[in-house]
Amino acid sequence: MKIIRTTFILTALTLVLVILGGHFGGRQGMTIAFGFALVFNAISYFFSDKIALWSSGAKAVSREELPRLYQVVERLAAKANLPVPKLYIVPQAAPNAFATGRNPRHASVAVTQGLLQIMNDDELEGVIAHELSHVRNYDILISSIAATVAGAITYLAHMGRWAAIFGGYSGRDDRDRGGGFSALLLLILAPIAAFLLQLWLSRTREYSADETGARMVGNPYGLMSALQKLGAYNNRIPSDAISPSTSALCIVKPLFGMGSMSSLFSTHPPLEDRIAALREMTIVPER
């Protein structure tokens, strides 16, 4: 069911992109829009992990530097039958963590200094299990593709609006399509639809990673406690290292400046809902 839901969202995003291109450029526009999707997805596939690590200021760490982190990651990776990812530290007081990489063989996990300072061993294990679940489920690749397609839709919509302002499309094509009003409506609605589909996908993958991580550990309690602690600290400590473009990868939404985005438009589900879902789980430990 989760695979079907994810496939549906990615397909819907691609269709929005192709329809937008086709509306303003006919068959040639559809081809150009599809080309946009392929190019953006290729860039995302090969470089999204490097961009995320670079933009957050993450630094690679060795086993000698952080033996506690390596022990937890190596134990859980062996339990989940995953290669041990590359580990990074982010010089950031606000506690958080994220995973990136196009597949398990090219995965990286980054944690902030603040996270290591406040988490006990059970909580750290819950956080790492959540991040390894993203790796195991190929969530980073899926989310990156969704983000790039949504970005292409927004870019094309901006191009369409500029074309409308300077008379880039008019005349017979407009009359055949119901006039300029329908075109303007599509330019407004297409980016909104892409944004909402992307949010839906992101929230779905967070719930899935919580569940998979809890089953990987054998109980949900460490992750539940970690989420409660992350919520409390991130409401007080603004992020000054993790960029907004990387925030969707984080285990909890970072706080930027003096406020945070409404939960209605957040890439992450409300923490209380995630904790409630974990509390209701019946765990059968993985063998």
* pLDDT tens digits, 13-42: 666 666 666 665 566 666 666 676 677 667
Instruction: Name 111's bridge partners.
Output: 89, 97
| 150: Cα within 13 Å, side-chain hemisphere | 20
Q: Is residue 213 part of a domain?
A: yes
47 part of a folded domain: yes
Please identify which of the residues 131, 206, 272, 286 carries the catalytic annotation: 131
Average pLDDT across the chain, whole number: 77
Residue 248 pLDDT class (50, 70, 90 cuts): confident
The burial class, CB within 10 Å (0-12 / 13-18 / 19+), for 284 is exposed
Q: What is the CA radius of gyration of the chain?
A: 21
Three-class secondary structure of residue 59 per DSSP: strand
CA 280 to chain centre: 25
Q: What is the pLDDT of residues 48-82, one digit of tens each?
A: 788 888 888 899 999 999 999 999 999 999 999 99
Asked if the structure places residue 181 within a domain, the reply is yes
What number of H helices and E strands is found in the chain? 9, 4
Model confidence pLDDT, tens digit, residues 196-217:
666 777 788 899 999 999 999 9
Angle in degrees, 0-180, between the axes of helices 139-165 and 180-217, rounded to the nearest 10: 170
Give how many domains the chain has, as a whole number: 1
| Model confidence pLDDT, tens digit, residues 263-280 | 556 778 899 999 999 999
Residue 287 lies in a domain: no
**Per the domain annotation, does 41 fall within a domain?**
yes
Alpha-carbon distance of 23 to 12, in angstroms, equals 16
Residues 6+ apart with CB under 8 A from 121: 68, 72
Lookup: tokens for 6:
């994810």
DSSP three-state, residue 120 = coil
Is position 286 annotated as part of the catalytic site?
Answer: no
Would strands 108-112 and 86-90 be described as parallel, antiparallel, or unpaired? Answer: parallel
Residue-level pLDDT at 148: 62
In a domain, 286, yes or no: no
Tell me what the mean pLDDT of segment 158-165 comes to. 58
How many other CB atoms are there within 10 angstroms of residue 203's CB atom? 17
240 vs 2, residue with greater confidence: 240
Answer yes or no: is 285 within a domain: no
244 compared with 249, residue with greater pLDDT: 249
Instruction: Please give the pLDDT value at position 237.
Output: 83
What's the confidence (pLDDT) of residue 259? Answer: 46
Taking residues 180-199, what's their average pLDDT? 63
Domain that holds residue 224: 2-279
Separation CA 12–CA 80 (nearest Å): 32
